[in-house]
C-alpha cells in the first residue's frame, strides 16, 4: 500500500533548513566582515608597520667620534677605519667549532679568543661581537669567498679611536671602551637611548668621559629594502649621522710632554694653571699609561700589569692624590695673618730654631735659628717658628675659614671626573671624622703643625695650583678647566665651554703684594744659586735623600718607613731650590735629577707659560731665554733673572720616591 506524503510538511521542513543554512552563511560572512574590519581598520597601522618591516630594515649609522685637540690645534685623539670580523653567538651554532674553522681562513690569536670570551660574558647572545679587528684586504677577500659557510659571522667596517701621543696626558684625555651593562642601563633610562643605537663604545675617563655628549655626535639611520632572506636590496631612505664636535683643550702638549720627560720614572704630579683665566696648561700624573690599550678591550696581562703595579699608573695623582702641602702653605698663612690682622709685614718674631708649646718642642730647619723674622723673611727663609706661633694665634677654625675660599679642601669643579676633596681640618671636621669621644676633640697642640702645612692638612696638587694662581692674580679665583671650546664640525662655529664666573675674594692689594714680593725674592735668591755650575753642587746631590728624611723627622717627629714614600708639594717658589741641589754638570735635567719634580716646576716657571701658544700671546716668553742661559751655565743679571722668575703662572707639583 502506497504511503501518501504530506507535501505541506515537507515544504515546511525545507524552508526551515534553508533558513538555518542562510543564518549560518550570514553569520559566517558577518564574522568574516568583522575580522576584515578589525584587521584592515582597527589594526591597520600596526599591521602596515609589520609588513613594512618585513620588506625593509632600519639600520643605525654610527657617527664619527669628535676629535680632541690641544690649545695649538695638535690632535690628541682621532679615529681610523678598519675591518672587523664579528660573530653573533646566537646564530653561529657551536662557537668553538666556528672559531676553529675561521682560524683556518684568518689569523686568530689566543689573545683574540680570550677577549671574545670576555666580551661574551659582558654582552647578550644576540649582539654582534668582534672576534678579530684590523683585518687586511687579503683576509677580507678570503672570508668573503667562504662567507656562506659561517652563519652569524660577518665583516664590518668600524671606526677605532687612536691616541697618537700614547701615554702623554692620558689621565687628562682619558680613553674609550665598550659599553658595559651598567652603562647600558643608564643609557636606556635617559633620553639618549635612540642616539646610542649601534654604538658600542663610550668615554670611560678624562675628557673622553666628561665631554661624551659633545664627542659622540648624532646617530643617523638608513632604511633598506630587504629580500626574503634578509639581504639588503636597495636603499630607500637615508638620514646621515652628524659627527661629534671637536673639543679643544687648554693643554699645551709640548709643555705636557716636556714635564713628563723631566719626571722620568719617578712618581708624582704637576699642575700648571694660567692665573688670568684658570686654564690648565699642563696636568701631569706619573707614572702614566697608554690609552690605546683600552680601545679594543684591554687583555688580562696588560690589565694586571696596570692594576697590580705598586706605582699605580691608573691613579690620577693630580686630582686624587692628597698630600700635606708643607712649606708651600706658608705664603697663604702669611696672607691670612695680614688679612685677619694677626700680623703686620714689619712685625718681628724671634726664631731661635724651635718653639715650645704645652711641653712639646716644635723644631725648625735644623737646630739653628733665623733670629729676628718678619713676614718677608719668614717666607724667604721659610721660618717654621714664625708659622708655629701664627697658627696658635689664629686657631684652627680661623685658618679653615680663610683657606676654604682659596679652594683648599674643596672640590674645584674642574671638568674632569674623580676629583677628591682632601682635608682642610676644623673642629667640626674632626667631630664628623672620628667616633670615639677623645678622638673627636680638637687639641690646641694639633693647630701648631697646621701653620707649616703639616698635621691633618691633605690637599690635591690641583688645589694647591689653583690657590697659587689665585694669589698670583691678586685674589680672583677662577674655576680651573681643561676644556677650552667645542667646534661644530658642520658649521665650524666655536662654542666656549661654560664655566663658573670668577670670584673676587676681596684681598687687600697691599697684603697680596707683600706676600708676592717675598715670594719673588725667594725665587730670585734660589734661581741665582741654581744658575751656578760647579763641582760643589754636584757633590751635594748625594746627600739630598738624607736631608729630606731629616726634614721629615723634624717636622713630623716620625722616621720615614720603608719603602720610603716621602711626598712633598712644590710650588714655583720652591722649585729652584730643589733644582739647585740636583742639577747636572751643565743645565737642568742631567746628572741624578731631582726626585721631587722641582726641575719640572722650575722649568715651567722659566717656560713663560701665558706667553706661549696661539691662545696665550706671543710664541716665546722671557722664560725661554733664561732657560737657555741656565743650560749653558752663563750668568744672568738681576734684571734678566727677575723677568725669568716672575711669570704669572700658578704651578704646583708633588713627587715621591
Residue 559: pLDDT band (50, 70, 90) is: very low
Residue 249: pLDDT band (50, 70, 90) is: very high
Lookup result for grid cell 741656565? 630
C-alpha cell belonging to residue 608: 713663560
- pLDDT above 70 covers a percentage of the chain that reads 74
Range in 169-178, 209-218, 321-330, 561-570 the model is least confident about: 561-570
Range in 118-122, 502-506, 530-534, 598-602 the model is least confident about: 530-534
CATH at 511: 3.40.710.10
Residues 179 and 319 in one domain: no
pTM, two decimals, is 0.74
Over residues 185-196, mean pLDDT: 86
Judged against a pLDDT cut of 50, whether residue 593 lies above it is answered with no
Give the residue numbers spanning the domain of 552: 253-656
What radius of gyration do the chain's Cα atoms show?
A: 36
Residues 220 and 344 in one domain: no
d(CA 418, CA 319): 7
pLDDT, residue 536, reads 34
Range in 133-142, 219-228, 486-495 the model is least confident about: 219-228
- Residue at a domain's end among 230, 249, 268: 249
pLDDT, residue 573, reads 43
Q: Is residue 13 part of a domain?
A: no
Residues 244 and 258 in one domain: no
Over residues 453-476, mean pLDDT: 93
Over residues 65-79, mean pLDDT: 94
Judged against a pLDDT cut of 60, whether residue 435 lies above it is answered with yes
Average pLDDT, the chain: 78
Residue 9: how many CB atoms within 10 A of its CB?
9
Q: Is residue 403 part of a domain?
A: yes
Residues 241 and 266 in one domain: no
- Residue at a domain's end among 216, 249, 282: 249
At 134-159, the pLDDT tens digits run 888 888 888 888 888 888 888 888 88
- Of residues 490 and 591, more confidence is placed in 490
Q: Catalytic residue numbers? A: 327
pLDDT, residue 52, reads 61
Write the DSSP symbol of residue 41: I
Residues 213 and 308 in one domain: no
Q: Is residue 38 part of a domain?
A: no
- Residue at a domain's end among 233, 249, 265: 249
Q: Is residue 48 part of a domain?
A: no
Query: Which segments of 407-559 does DSSP mark as H helices, in order?
Result: 427-433, 437-440, 444-448, 461-472, 509-530, 535-540, 544-556
d(CA 124, CA 131): 15
Residues 328 and 222 in one domain: no
Q: Is residue 290 part of a domain?
A: yes
Range in 84-93, 252-261, 632-641 the model is least confident about: 632-641
- The number of residues in the chain equals 657
Domain count, the chain: 2
Residues 166 and 308 in one domain: no
pLDDT, residue 411, reads 94
Residues 322 and 465 in one domain: yes
CA 476, chain centre distance (Å) = 25
Q: Is residue 32 part of a domain?
A: no
Over residues 492-516, mean pLDDT: 92
pLDDT, residue 567, reads 38
d(CA 220, CA 203): 20
- Of residues 625 and 276, more confidence is placed in 276
Residues 469 and 494 in one domain: yes
Q: Is residue 488 part of a domain?
A: yes
C-alpha cell belonging to residue 24: 549560518
Greatest mean pLDDT range, 20-24, 201-205, 652-656: 201-205
At 604-651, the pLDDT tens digits run 555 544 433 333 333 323 333 333 333 333 333 333 333 333 334 556
Residues 567 and 477 in one domain: yes
d(CA 71, CA 258): 16
CATH at 174: 3.90.1310.10
Over residues 92-114, mean pLDDT: 84
Residues 264 and 166 in one domain: no
3-state DSSP assignment of residue 265: coil
- pLDDT above 90 covers a percentage of the chain that reads 39
Residue 14: pLDDT band (50, 70, 90) is: confident
d(CA 568, CA 320): 15
Residues 139 and 197 in one domain: yes
At 318-359, the pLDDT tens digits run 999 999 999 899 999 999 999 999 999 999 999 888 888 888
Q: At what angle do helices 638-645 and 622-632 cross, to 10 degrees?
A: 120
Q: Is residue 155 part of a domain?
A: yes
E strand intervals along 295-404: 322-323, 349-351, 354-357, 360-363, 371-373
Amino acid at each position: 500500500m502506497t504511503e501518501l506524503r504530506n507535501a505541506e510538511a515537507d515544504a515546511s521542513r525545507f524552508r526551515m533548513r534553508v533558513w538555518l543554512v542562510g543564518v549560518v552563511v550570514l553569520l559566517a560572512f558577518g564574522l568574516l566582515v568583522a575580522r576584515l574590519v578589525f584587521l584592515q581598520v582597527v589594526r591597520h597601522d600596526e599591521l602596515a608597520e609589520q609588513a613594512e618591516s618585513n620588506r625593509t630594515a632600519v639600520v643605525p649609522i654610527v657617527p664619527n667620534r669628535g676629535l680632541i685637540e690641544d690649545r695649538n690645534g695638535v690632535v690628541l685623539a682621532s679615529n681610523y677605519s678598519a675591518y672587523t670580523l664579528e660573530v653573533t653567538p646566537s646564530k653561529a651554532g657551536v662557537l668553538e667549532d666556528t672559531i676553529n674553522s675561521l682560524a683556518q681562513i684568518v689569523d686568530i690569536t689566543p689573545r683574540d679568543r680570550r677577549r671574545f670570551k670576555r666580551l661574551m660574558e659582558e654582552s647578550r647572545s644576540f649582539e654582534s661581537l668582534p672576534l678579530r679587528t684590523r683585518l687586511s684586504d687579503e683576509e677580507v677577500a678570503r672570508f668573503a669567498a667562504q662567507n656562506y659557510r659561517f652563519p652569524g659571522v660577518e665583516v664590518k667596517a668600524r671606526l677605532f679611536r687612536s691616541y697618537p701621543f700614547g701615554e702623554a696626558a692620558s689621565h687628562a684625555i682619558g680613553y674609550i671602551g665598550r659599553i658595559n651593562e651598567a652603562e647600558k642601563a643608564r643609557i636606556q633610562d635617559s633620553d639618549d637611548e635612540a642616539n646610542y643605537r649601534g654604538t658600542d663604545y663610550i668615554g670611560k675617563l678624562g675628557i673622553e668621559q666628561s665631554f661624551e655628549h659633545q664627542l659622540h655626535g648624532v646617530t643617523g639611520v638608513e632604511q633598506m629594502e630587504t629580500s626574503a632572506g634578509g639581504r639588503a636590496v636597495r636603499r630607500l631612505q637615508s638620514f646621515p649621522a652628524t659627527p661629534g664636535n671637536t673639543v679643544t683643550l687648554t693643554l699645551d702638549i709640548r709643555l705636557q710632554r716636556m714635564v713628563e720627560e723631566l719626571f722620568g720614572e719617578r712618581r708624582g704630579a704637576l699642575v700648571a694653571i694660567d692665573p688670568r683665566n684658570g686654564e690648565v696648561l699642563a696636568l701631569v700624573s706619573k707614572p702614566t699609561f697608554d690609552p690605546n690599550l683600552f680601545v679594543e678591550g684591554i687583555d688580562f696581562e696588560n690589565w694586571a700589569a696596570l692594576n697590580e703595579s705598586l706605582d699605580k699608573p691608573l691613579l690620577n695623582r693630580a686630582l686624587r692624590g692628597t698630600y700635606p702641602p708643607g712649606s708651600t702653605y706658608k705664603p697663604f698663612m702669611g696672607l691670612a695673618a695680614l688679612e685677619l690682622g694677626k700680623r703686620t709685614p714689619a712685625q718681628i718674631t724671634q726664631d731661635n730654631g724651635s718653639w715650645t708649646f704645652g711641653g712639646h718642642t716644635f723644631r725648625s730647619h735644623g737646630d739653628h735659628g733665623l733670629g729676628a723674622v718678619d713676614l718677608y723673611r719668614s717666607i724667604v727663609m721659610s721660618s717654621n717658628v714664625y708659622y708655629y706661633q701664627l697658627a696658635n694665634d689664629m686657631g684652627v677654625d680661623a685658618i679653615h675659614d680663610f683657606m676654604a675660599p682659596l679652594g683648599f679642601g674643596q672640590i674645584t669643579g674642574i671638568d674632569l671626573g674623580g676629583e677628591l676633596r682632601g682635608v682642610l681640618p676644623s673642629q667640626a671636621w674632626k667631630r664628623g671624622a672620628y667616633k670615639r669621644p677623645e678622638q673627636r676633640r680638637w687639641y690646641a697642640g694639633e693647630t701648631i703643625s697646621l701653620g707649616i702645612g703639616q698635621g691633618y692638612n691633605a690637599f690635591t696638587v690641583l688645589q694647591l695650583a689653583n690657590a697659587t694662581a689665585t694669589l698670583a692674580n691678586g685674589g680672583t679665583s677662577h674655576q680651573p678647566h681643561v676644556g677650552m671650546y667645542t667646534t661644530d664640525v658642520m658649521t665650524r662655529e666655536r662654542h666656549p665651554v661654560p664655566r663658573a664666573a670668577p670670584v673676587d675674594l676681596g684681598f687687600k692689594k697691599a697684603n697680596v703684594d707683600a706676600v708676592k714680593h717675598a715670594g719673588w725674592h725667594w725665587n730670585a735668591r734660589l734661581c741665582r744659586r741654581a744658575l751656578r755650575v760647579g763641582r760643589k753642587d754636584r757633590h751635594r746631590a748625594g746627600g739630598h735623600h738624607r736631608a729630606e728624611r731629616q726634614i721629615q723627622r723634624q717636622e713630623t717627629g716620625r722616621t720615614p718607613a720603608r719603602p720610603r714614600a716621602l711626598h712633598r708639594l712644590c710650588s714655583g717658589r720652591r722649585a729652584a731650590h730643589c733644582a739647585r741641589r740636583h742639577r747636572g754638570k751643565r743645565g737642568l735635567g742631567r746628572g741624578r735629577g731631582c726626585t721631587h719634580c722641582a726641575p719640572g716646576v722650575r722649568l715651567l716657571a722659566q717656560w713663560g707659560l701665558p706667553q706661549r701658544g696661539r691662545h696665550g700671546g706671543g710664541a716665546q716668553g722671557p722664560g725661554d731665554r733664561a732657560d737657555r742661559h741656565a743650560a749653558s751655565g752663563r750668568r744672568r743679571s738681576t734684571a734678566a733673572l727677575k723677568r725669568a722668575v716672575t711669570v704669572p703662572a700658578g704651578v704646583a707639583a708633588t713627587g715621591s720616591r
